[in-house]
Structure 1
Amino acid sequence: MKLRSIATMAAVAALASAIPAQAQVEQTVFVSGTAADAEFDRFVPRPTDETTQIDYSFFNEALEFMVLRMGPSTRQGERRPDANLGTRRVYGHDSRVRLEGNRVVFSFLDEAAVAPLAEYRRDLERIASETDITRLSRNEQLAFWMNLHNVAVIEQIALNYPAPSPSRLKLGPDKTPLDTTRFINVAGVAMSPRDIRTKIVFPNWNSPDVIYGFFRGEVGGPSIWRRAYTGQNINELLDISAKEFVNSLRGVEAYGSNLLVSAIYEEAAPFYFPQMGADLKAHLSSHAQEDVQGLIASKPGVKVNTYVDTVADLAGGEREPVYNTILSDGNAQGTRITPSIARLMIERGEKLEKLRREGLLRGRVIVLPPTGAEETPPPAPEVE
């Protein structure tokens, strides 16, 4: 059995077209502070033989529209872009890892596109409040928590855009950080994105690969994909996400005798890497390509690298005051393609071409069940 969202196809169309229109976003309740750990005991998985699946088709369509692929890392840091003519200021993305990790096109999402995201987040909350989520398969539960986390983060960034750094974005009357503000409510329990990670998923899943399923809306964090997580694809997507991150400069690089690792491992350390040493290096090596494996093995020390908290968008969370124009029938037509976005897209194109020439840009083949196969495929191996 599949649980379907009440988000309508009209909402999907509004998101996909992103045509300016009047849309109202229901008031979000912001709760400051931290919920007691005991409140989260009700979400400890207790899977049964229940075969119910949650339908994420709306989120799939939204992600296909919103997410721009950036391709795998070249492991070569980018130089700082030149400043605009007549000024010392550099608009847009300027970090050395700016071509890593997929992007959400926040600068192109208007109110009509954001409203369905807010509705969908509340829809997921409703489903989990009306259904005992802990009785679903572990994969279904994990997919639910990751999708709820990610749509909530995307929603709040979009509502508050432009926002150069989601980590520094403040919500509600108390101006609390996005990551710790309890604006999500499931079965009467108010929770924040961090609560979902550290009070529900990390304590109840043994595989450290789960850390790569959470999109933080920032260049320095794990990537967002053009598919929602499901009970069937979650192993595949987490493996893809882990390999992309570990083999990028965002995840692992070196300085002197030290291995520099992402700050996301520091948050996960109490659950998966208490030593933040050999245990973390073993995990990284399991996902690393050959050259990165050699790097990991050659560095005795482990230190946390500088985290790039710039929003994972096309414009660096800024409204650049200059727009490019295009000609239509001889008339100039304004666009939302700023010089900084145009520069990023050119850099992206050059990077992808380089990867193609080196044979490092490969597609993935997905095997579909034959025609006439049962609608519900056999369960995928569960993420423990």
Structure 2
Amino acid sequence: MIKLIQVFGLASALALAGQAVAQTEADNRFERFAPSTTDYGRSHVDYSTWTMMLSEIVLNVGYSDRRSPRRDVGATGTRVFTGNTSRFRFEANRVIYHLVEDFHLDAITQYRQELEQVPEQLNFARLSPDEQLAYWLNLYTVATIEQVGLVYPQNDMERTRAANSELHYLDAPVVTVMGQPLSLNDIQYNIVYRFWDDPRVIYGFFNGTIGAPRVMREAYDASRVWSQLESNGREFVNSLRGVDNSPRSLIISRHYERARDTFFPNWPEDVRDHLSAFAGEDVMELIDSDIPVRPTSDEWGIADMTNGSNRCGGSISQTVSTGRGGTGSGRDAMFCGGLPDNARILLDFVVERRIRQFRDGSLGNVYVRDLPDQNIVIDMSEDDDENTEEETDGEISN
């Protein structure tokens, strides 16, 4: 400390000391969430309600075929195209926000509140590490979909603030667990990344953007949480947004760079080894090539079907208002007689790719849930008996 005072001055030394104290306090704040590795019971948390919700609002786009998308064009009568134009616009599962109405969001908010109460209903420390991991991943996903839905149709998530907050939606304390306000970044970096020393957890954090690991159409479950993460890992690594290349670089997602200090200290060898565990043949050739790693891929466009717009295209396009003070959401999106043009482009591409892969005999893990043109209903209702939390034989239903 004497040398620090001599070099930086007393004020700088005191500032460093203050930062150390603040870091210690922060560490203590999250220490309560450290999972036990030896002394835990057999309680199980059931997330079937969340699986039901996800199955109604998530479009499964399937695996990327790593083809560059064609250039999108505006519909007849206009040159305006309001869809996503990024290289990754046909990758990653999507939340169908343009059809989500206020009562859907109310159901998601209620479920998030119920999840927050779970640690107070049982001895959270005695849940197994896999149970606790599934809990944090589900809470993160619920809170993310809720926050993005509350500010929809904002589509640039890099600049999006949390509802009723001046803070970014990833930084704002949007959940409270065991009396501790937590942000989405707290859950990811200060809890899961800190206490689960396995890079596969990277693939459990869908932050509402196309560039993130995908959102699944089912909740994470402790009995297979690692296989679920591995499935997401294979999809992400073998997509353009996960691993791409230029003539002189192996371009990878910045999600790996954000996890570098935690999981890949021997950079870039560690991250190459990690990617190799999930890579298909084409991607493996890129990883094995002698080109430098550049973690520069970062797509912050919203992972919805319409890029925050319900424009139907052409000279008869109409914009409608919704109950949340925005445009392009709710069933008013059907006013034009079908899906908005930019949603149709995505859906048509997904179907076309599925047919092509089927003909090539490489359908593999591609799953597509086609949407009808009319009378789309998102049903997240549940029986009254299932709307209450019960603890029976060590099981919590949520």
Q: TM-score normalised by the shorter chain: which range applies?
A: 0.7 to 0.9
Of 361, 364, 371, the match for 1:362? 364
Of 281, 291, 294, the match for 1:290? 281
- When normalised by structure 1's length, the TM-score is 0.80
Shift of 1:230: 0.8
- Tell me if 1:264 matches 2:266: no
Aligned residue type for 1:354:
R
Quote the Cα distance in structure 2 between the aligned partners of 1:277 and 1:53: 38
Which residue pairs with 1:278 in the alignment? 269
Which residue pairs with 2:295 in the alignment? 304
SS in 2 for 1:305: strand
Which residue pairs with 1:41 in the alignment? 31
Deviations 1:96-148 (A, max 9, x none): 21111111111110001110100100101011233332321111000000000
Quote the Cα distance in structure 1 between the aligned partners of 2:335 and 2:309: 22
SS in 1 for 2:53: helix
Which residue pairs with 1:316 in the alignment? 307
Quote the Cα distance in structure 2 between the aligned partners of 1:172 and 1:66: 21
Bigger RCO of structures 1 and 2 (CA < 8 A, at least 6 apart): 2
Deviations 1:235-279 (A, max 9, x none): 221111000000110100111231100011111111001243111
Shift of 1:85: 3.5
SS in 1 for 2:297: coil
SS in 1 for 2:181: strand
Which residue pairs with 1:125 in the alignment? 116
SS in 1 for 2:294: strand
1:118/1:333 Cα in 2 relative to 1: closer, same or farther (>3 Å)?
Answer: closer
Residues 184-263 of structure 1 correspond to what in structure 2 (within 5 A)? 184-263=175-254
| Contact 1:103 1:313 (8 Å CA) reproduced | yes
Deviations 1:10-33 (A, max 9, x none): xxxxxxxxxxxxxxxxxxxxxxx9
| Contact 1:102 1:224 (8 Å CA) reproduced | yes
1:299/1:255 Cα in 2 relative to 1: closer, same or farther (>3 Å)?
Answer: farther
Quote the Cα distance in structure 1 between the aligned partners of 2:32 and 2:140: 18
1:187/1:336 Cα in 2 relative to 1: closer, same or farther (>3 Å)?
Answer: farther
Moved more, 351-360 or 154-163: 351-360
| Contact 2:41 2:126 (8 Å CA) reproduced | yes
Aligned residue type for 1:84:
A
Aligned residue type for 2:60:
R
Which residue pairs with 1:106 in the alignment? 97
Shift of 1:280: 0.3
Quote the Cα distance in structure 2 between the aligned partners of 1:129 and 1:323: 48
Shift of 1:220: 0.7
Shift of 1:335: 4.1
Shift of 1:317: 1.7
Shift of 1:83: 2.6
Moved more, 242-251 or 163-172: 163-172
Deviations 1:211-244 (A, max 9, x none): 0011111111100111100111212211110000
Residues 153-164 of structure 1 correspond to what in structure 2 (within 5 A)? 153-164=144-155
Aligned residue type for 2:122:
T
Quote the Cα distance in structure 1 between the aligned partners of 2:296 and 2:284: 18
Quote the Cα distance in structure 2 between the aligned partners of 1:342 and 1:256: 33
Shift of 1:336: 5.5
Quote the Cα distance in structure 2 between the aligned partners of 1:134 and 1:46: 6
Which residue pairs with 1:146 in the alignment? 137
SS in 1 for 2:293: strand
- When normalised by structure 2's length, the TM-score is 0.78
SS in 2 for 1:303: strand
What do you get for the CA RMSD once the two structures are aligned? 2.4
Quote the Cα distance in structure 1 between the aligned partners of 2:61 and 2:52: 19
Quote the Cα distance in structure 2 between the aligned partners of 1:138 and 1:181: 26
Which residue pairs with 1:27 in the alignment? none
Moved more, 170-179 or 273-282: 170-179
Deviations 1:22-81 (A, max 9, x none): xxxxxxxxxxx9982320010011142401011101101001101111111101111320
1:276/1:79 Cα in 2 relative to 1: closer, same or farther (>3 Å)?
Answer: farther
Give aligned-pair identity as a percent: 33
Which ranges of structure 2 fall in alignment gaps of 5 or more residues?
1-21, 320-333, 367-391, 394-398
Shift of 1:299: 3.5
1:268/1:323 Cα in 2 relative to 1: closer, same or farther (>3 Å)?
Answer: same
Quote the Cα distance in structure 1 between the aligned partners of 2:73 and 2:290: 34
Of 351, 356, 364, the match for 2:353? 351
Quote the Cα distance in structure 1 between the aligned partners of 2:217 and 2:262: 28
| Contact 1:323 1:339 (8 Å CA) reproduced | no
- Tell me if 1:340 matches 2:348: no
1:170/1:336 Cα in 2 relative to 1: closer, same or farther (>3 Å)?
Answer: farther
SS in 2 for 1:353: helix
Aligned residue type for 2:120:
S
Quote the Cα distance in structure 2 between the aligned partners of 1:339 and 1:116: 29
Shift of 1:363: 5.3
Of 8, 31, 42, the match for 1:51? 42
Deviations 1:311-337 (A, max 9, x none): 11100122426379xxxxxxx975461
SS in 2 for 1:180: coil
Which structure is larger by alpha-carbon Rg, 1 or 2? 2
